Structure 1
Amino acid sequence: MAQAEVVITPVTGKADRNAFVDLAYRLNASDPAWVPPLRMDALELVTPGKNPFFDHADVQLFLARRNGAVVGRISAHIDHLAIAMDPAQGMGPGVGNWGLLEAEDESVAHALIAKAEAWLRDKGMHRVLAPLSMSIWEEPGQLTKGFDQSPTIMMGHQPKRYDDYIKAAGYTPAKTLKTYELDITQEFPPLIQRIVSSGEKNAKIRIRNVDRSKFEQEAALILDILNDAWSDNWGFVPFTDREIAYAGKKFKPIVREDLIMVAEYEGEPVAFMMTLPDLNEMIKPMNGKLFPFNWAKLLLWLRNPKPRTMRVPLMGVRKKLQASRLASQLAFMMIEYIRRNSVTRYGSTRGEIGWILEDNQGMVAIADAINSHVNKEYEIYGKSLTG
């Protein structure tokens, strides 16, 4: 018997938005590596007025139904900050995106992707980079390596079949993003220790913790360095003031002063490294629900986190120093100080760094120097929407 037709409609109200969010929990329930996000966070991500991404992006969510039942979802979006960037950096004029793909089977996935492409084409886009869920700063890429490992905080996780669906829809690799893991209970190689020791003797260098009592100012400083440090990177999109404030508010509960470092040279802040306790370890068993009792467990954990894993999602050195030896010295010093604190104060044993662009030679060299190895890879795919 032939399958019923797949009907795709735009998300138009609260009920549709709830159905969009709920589908991910059902389709991924059998995947032992998947981490159900807190439902309030998942809903906030796709709600205009709550996620500041909507301030500078046109977004349309779609639901796929078969016989009236929801069987798939996708987001299509045009980030106006991204299309204003230099095309040499991957985005640029005429480049749209889709993401948040969930589908019961390949026919549903292909119908959703085609719908997202048609929406982008109607808006004047001639190329698509995907998946991005939804900004490059949120959960970019389709997982292609490391399906058996749960994602750390702020990283995505998708089944392999989605990768097969995307390639079958005519997409080719545009950029690979990698994460690196390491045993942080082990000291770094002697060469790195000597570089750190040399930096400690240099009176011009100061590595300091962030000051949580000045959280807003510190967050603004870090993101100012980030916008400068990453401005030439592939896929870069600058943070807006509202996004800076939003990120600060969102991460404040898990920020620890001794896990985020700022490097100063001759009194000027020139680099930073942000490390976060892996909140995913705590929320994974909650199945997205804080009530009736999970909120209390989470609150206790936040007061005294003891995660196995610490993740470094962001680091940066101002552009004017990036070609210098000082840049790598500052990075090694911050990594070493955070490694020590993670082990002695939080009992952590594992670190994860990334994502890192496959061709970011400086960061890849740093990851290699501290004996880390690639544990996950994510692919961002591209496809022409013309011809």
Structure 2
Amino acid sequence: MKKGGRPLPGVNVVIKGTQLTTVNTTATATWRDAYVAINRANNVLSALDKVDEGKRDKIEGEARFIRGSLYFELVRAYARTWGDGDNNTNPGVPLVLTPTRGVTDDDYKSRNPVSEVYAQVIQDLTEAAKLLPASNTIYATSGAAYAQLARVYLQQGDYAGARDAADKVIQSGEYTLASAFSDLFFTYLNNGGASPKEYIFSMVVTPQDGSSDLNTFYGVTVGSIPGTAGRGDMRVQQAHLDLYEAGDARGAFFVRANNNTYTEKHLDLFGNVPVVRLAEMYLTRAEANLRLGTAVGATPAADVNKIRSRAGLAPLSAVTLTDVLKERKLELMFEGLQVHDQKRLKETRGGIAYNSPRLILPIPQREMDTNKKLVQNQGY
């Protein structure tokens, strides 16, 4: 997986230049890099018989985790969201499941339907969850695969699936909430490059790797904090700051620089990228339980209050769906989930509807020129 995805248009931020074209470098690089990584995973999966038997399950699980996760990102970025029209006919992305070692006409694939891409994602992640160990240093674990499955099921509106996958992660005992919200970030500056136990899966960044795109776009150089950097593209508006209750530690996790406000989550030049963390699983379980009228693992209020308590807020005696979604937004803002939540919740934000073509990346022009079987997305 690529370190730090390029941020898509979101909410409560000012974005410079949101009009994309088919030659947009972000759309092109994201597609290219994802398929390069998928091809590497396919090569590994095709050669498992050459792997020591004692390591085979782990290697296969890691490759399936990467492939499944990347196809999930691709179908969410380059196709209409699940449930926007017919999933069986809406074009997704090409599914390439065998190594590409030379390019012939047979290697030019058409776009598989959204439903088929999701089915492949679920198959890969389900197998990865069975094959991966509970602990695996900086690499994917069974918990990481279940966490990704929770995201997939939530995006589909399969609340039972999302609830149960999130519950497996929580009940595993492998991950713990950080005691303070501020402990979750500045992993290089304050934590020696190690990710906190709340991170279920993260992308490690080192001085040899260079910074992540999250730092580039969300970060900014703050003179009083050595080691900070970034272009400062994502400026936080007052409308977002006003959402936090008095005393919410998350509402204080911002910095003023160059007469603008920025999140502190991605100031660390070499900070690890939190792909998915435990707080999200509590909020996913809470939302799914609430929608289903169940209390698997815990009541929705108990799960929400774990997150509120860490933020320094008083517990709620009962929660509504609005409460859960607000906590999800405030807890996970600036971590790459907002645009996908907007789509699954069918919301209009900033005047942009959930199914607007502006929230779907174009198929890169270089791919369209090469592969005549591809069809372009609406609006490009």
Normalised by the length of structure 2, the TM-score is 0.31
- The structure carrying a bigger strand percent of its residues is 1
TM-score by length of 1: 0.31
The structure with the largest alpha-carbon Rg is: 1
